[in-house]
Structure 1
Amino acid sequence: MKYYLLAASVLFASGADVVDANMVDYVNTSVDPTIEIAQKIPELMKVYGVSGLAATAVKGDKVLFSQGFGVTSDGQSYSSSTSCGLYSATKVLASLTYANLAKDGRINMEGELADYIEDAPEAWRKIPFYRLLNHTSGITMAVNKSWFGELVSNPSTQNADIYQKVRDIPLDYKPGEFSRYRQSGYAVAEMILKNKLGVSFADIALEYLTSPANMTNTKHPSVSDDSQPAFLLSAGGFVTTADDMSKLFIGINNGAVIAPQEWKAFLLNQDYRFKDYSLGSLIEERDGILTMGHSGGGARANIRYAPDEKVGVMICTDDRSNKGLAIPLARMLMHEIVTGEVPPLPLLTAFGDYKAMNGVDIISVYKQAKERADGYDFSDAEALLNNIGYTFLSDKRVEDAIQVFKLNVQEHPNSGNVYDSLGEAQLTAGDKLGALASYQQAVALDPHNQGAAKAVKKLLQEK
């Protein structure tokens, strides 16, 4: 099974509009000399194949830096005022907005949908409002339905149109049983805001976020472009700039947007959290640093905020060849700013151009890197090896892929996903017995892996 954390190039490669990262002058402005990771951004961009990005970091009432590097997908120089998409990282704006609405008593997060939607389906009636925002409602996904394309292409589409489409579809799971990524909940929540408060999400975000923080370049395109349908605004689609995001972090730190500890308490409410996911935010604790935030666009954008230290970091790029740099870069910047210690570099930097390597080379480099574990961050090793394996597999280098997947199994024996990936490669190589064993182990470790379960059933029938 593919990971897309480090495989955004698979999702977004589009040929002519991708800028060759090797031809880019990465440094547009000087970087903060006191932050070593900031100085390494151009080097990291080359390793990841990212042609341009904007980044900002704030601590307390000080903007540590707000800068652009390289070029946009259309060849323009990135700067701190270059607009870039937040994609699903827009949910950070939603999280802050709903935290304010709840604080002011304008929305009851525990209120049942029956209290908000007059014709709510019977299966929905007792679902509390907060489940719409942490993906635990069970309401079916809309974006993968055949009719969703028609809604997107219609400028007059409203959130109520999504509600009408999904209301009669059975719930995907019992409310509260799982947290599975569903944009539909955000559409229903926006519909409720419109019906209850008489204003759109864009209006409320302006009231609570962009106006108090004086953010002049953060908005959803539909606000100024009538050809864009105004729905699912809180789930994704806002654009911003590095300068505007620095203003947002300052606005949180000084309480103009919301007090940091109020936002933290809102998100850490155990009723609202499902494992590491809360209302529009992933809760992460690394190296003793608690952060809230969200990534988006196949990791083309990433926002992390540490409420206890009042540190905020945002990375965004429109580069379609982005391989997920926004996630480790934000982590590294956060670590150095909070602790004062320079963190280890991402494991990917040890490999360089891994596409020019074979399976044996990958194993050798990995083992050498592991011997100096203080120099590299191995937290994403499973995802990276998986991505390399699938890169080889897509290039029809099946044996190299199998070697890499076997290394991943050896290093992460408790992950069902790595066995799933190995099984796929073995099946491609015609090794049905090996594939069966791998898929069976994948199911044993992850009983919810329906793809592996189907593969097991099919291979058993063929024996």
Structure 2
Amino acid sequence: MKQILLTALALNISAFAFSQQTNPFKLIDHYAKEAIKTNQIPGLAIGIIKDNKVIFEQYYGAENLEDQKKVGPDSMFRIYSTSKLMTNVGIFQLIEQGKLSLEDNVSKYIENLPEDWQNIKVKNLLTHSSGMPDFIAFNDILPEYSGSKTIERLSKEKMDFKTGNEFRYNQTNYMLLSMIIEKITGQSFGDFILNSQFYDAKNQVVFSSNALEKIPNRIIKYNYNPETEKYEKSTDVEGKKAYPGNGLAITLPAFLKWCSHLSKNDFLNQGTKDMMWQPFEYGNKKDVFAYGWEINKTNNIPSYGFSGGNVSAYRIFPQNNMAIIMMSNGYNFFPAQYHMINHLAAIMDKNLTDNYLLAEESIIAEFAKPDNPDAEKNYYKIKAKDPKWDFEGTLNNIGYILLRNSRANEAIKVFALNVKEKPQSANAFDSLGEGYFSIKNYTLALESYKKSLELNPENTNASNMINKIQNLTTKN
């Protein structure tokens, strides 16, 4: 990546405090093009609304890699789990109309629920605190299964945890929300969402959770294959029960209209939105999430949003009267959606600058480069800016991504850096052990796993790997 981007990313964040003469849209355009290059994003659309006006709408790259059709206003990106935001708004529209309550038991609207599900409330579905098993985890639940047939199959499984105790992301929650919507409105889920939220953009939105279905202008996600070093089109096939959780494909103009309606209280009044964005009180007193929305705070300024498929994200900043949309169709290394939203927000308003995330973005970008010669130097330069910054999880994730991309020696260097930074971390040593094991350096792998087990005697993976390595070396 060019030095100018590194400077903007981490080394001198004040670069974002542009003067009145500086055009922020040129900075956004420059950043978008650099992000595309860094992450090898095939196609991208970015939209920004400020004070209820579209102030930035731009398209980059190709809808597909087969004929290089350019991304444009008619391109419908699959936004995957960002679709949940439209489901959330639909539920709160019914709440605002007095047809539904957060405290209602799901069993009030859906028959033949398992006994363990009887006290699950609507609020538990929105906050992923239901504890129900997730239908995604069961291969025998077929795409064509109806909601009722899926419930029948899941009734044979135990609850994952006590209802209300914790956050655990779960597609079953949203399947049930769509069934509640259909019960109350008498409409199909898709029709209700289109009629209530996309009445002025119906031809720019489509519901489908089948990547093989031929839909004009719909963009299918590309997955990067590290072995062939090429992109491959997604072939995921799910049925209508997945629509509320991941089924929406939408153009940027339609998304911008939706965003504007939400900001202007056309969908929900301000009191209802405030309720929707309130933190849910989990039993474990740890998890933080609103009613279907992620909660973020930058310099004590709140924002709310969600992402999907690691290729789309939406964030609204109520105090700033601003919202940002990004939609893409693939990436080759590290999921970029959160860093991109954060970076765009910082360009738009220096008060929304999250220095840590900008620094993390720079670290990832350098390690993503082939052989990454300056990555470690860049890491220490960034770390010197604020020694309190903790990048243990970031380095661990980078190491595993390098490992999956057949860059084992580079991965080991990252894991070793993490161990150097966190000498008391059992997880860091465990990861280093996996790196050495991947290149069959059993001596150093054993040494790392033993250190991990010493730091955390309950690390069963380390003990299992120690036994495995000792068996392998004994046989040899």
Q: Paired residue for 1:324?
A: 335
Q: 1:68, CA displacement in angstroms?
A: 0.4
| Separation (CA, whole Å) in 2 of partners of 1:459 and 1:388 | 24
Q: 1:407, CA displacement in angstroms?
A: 2.0
Q: Paired residue for 1:219?
A: 206
Contact 1:267 1:278 (8 Å CA) reproduced? yes
Partner of 2:120: helix, strand, or coil? coil
1:296-315 alignment runs, 5 A limit? 296-297=308-309, 299-315=310-326
Amino acid at match of 2:370: A
Amino acid at match of 1:147: D
1:239-292 Cα deviation digits (max 9, x unpaired)? 111111111121112211224553232221534897222332211112222111
Contact 2:299 2:352 (8 Å CA) reproduced? no
Partner of 1:316: helix, strand, or coil? strand
| Separation (CA, whole Å) in 2 of partners of 1:249 and 1:342 | 22
- Structure 1's 110 and 271: CA in aligned 2 closer, same or farther, altered over 3 A? farther
Q: Paired residue for 1:37?
A: 28
Q: Paired residue for 1:247?
A: 257
Q: 1:63, CA displacement in angstroms?
A: 0.5
Q: How many residues align?
A: 414
Q: 2:117 aligns with which of 124, 136, 139?
A: 124
Q: Paired residue for 2:225?
A: none
Partner of 1:304: helix, strand, or coil? strand
Q: Paired residue for 2:97?
A: 104
Q: Paired residue for 1:459?
A: 466
Contact 2:278 2:291 (8 Å CA) reproduced? no
Q: 1:41, CA displacement in angstroms?
A: 0.9
- Structure 1's 421 and 102: CA in aligned 2 closer, same or farther, altered over 3 A? farther
Matched, 1:51 2:42: yes
Q: 1:405, CA displacement in angstroms?
A: 1.3
Amino acid at match of 1:280: G
Amino acid at match of 1:291: S
Amino acid at match of 1:310: N
| Percentage of pairs with the same residue | 23
| Separation (CA, whole Å) in 2 of partners of 1:88 and 1:439 | 37
Contact 1:300 1:317 (8 Å CA) reproduced? yes
- Structure 1's 225 and 191: CA in aligned 2 closer, same or farther, altered over 3 A? farther
Q: 2:411 aligns with which of 378, 382, 401?
A: 401
Matched, 1:210 2:198: yes
- Structure 1's 319 and 118: CA in aligned 2 closer, same or farther, altered over 3 A? closer
Q: 2:291 aligns with which of 271, 279, 282?
A: 279
Q: Paired residue for 1:167?
A: 155
| Separation (CA, whole Å) in 1 of partners of 2:196 and 2:52 | 19
Q: 1:417, CA displacement in angstroms?
A: 5.1
Contact 2:42 2:329 (8 Å CA) reproduced? no
| Separation (CA, whole Å) in 2 of partners of 1:413 and 1:129 | 45
1:170-208 Cα deviation digits (max 9, x unpaired)? 111111222111101111222233234322221221233
**TM-score, normalised relative to structure 2:** 0.76
| Separation (CA, whole Å) in 2 of partners of 1:251 and 1:186 | 23
Contact 1:186 1:235 (8 Å CA) reproduced? yes
Q: Paired residue for 1:368?
A: 381
Partner of 1:356: helix, strand, or coil? coil
Partner of 1:219: helix, strand, or coil? strand
Higher mean C-alpha deviation, range 180-189 or range 83-92: 180-189
Partner of 2:275: helix, strand, or coil? helix
Q: Paired residue for 2:59?
A: 68
Matched, 1:388 2:398: yes
Gaps of 5+ in 2: 1-21, 216-236, 471-476
| Separation (CA, whole Å) in 1 of partners of 2:311 and 2:182 | 30
Matched, 1:334 2:345: yes
Higher mean C-alpha deviation, range 256-265 or range 180-189: 256-265
| Separation (CA, whole Å) in 2 of partners of 1:50 and 1:158 | 35
Partner of 1:425: helix, strand, or coil? helix
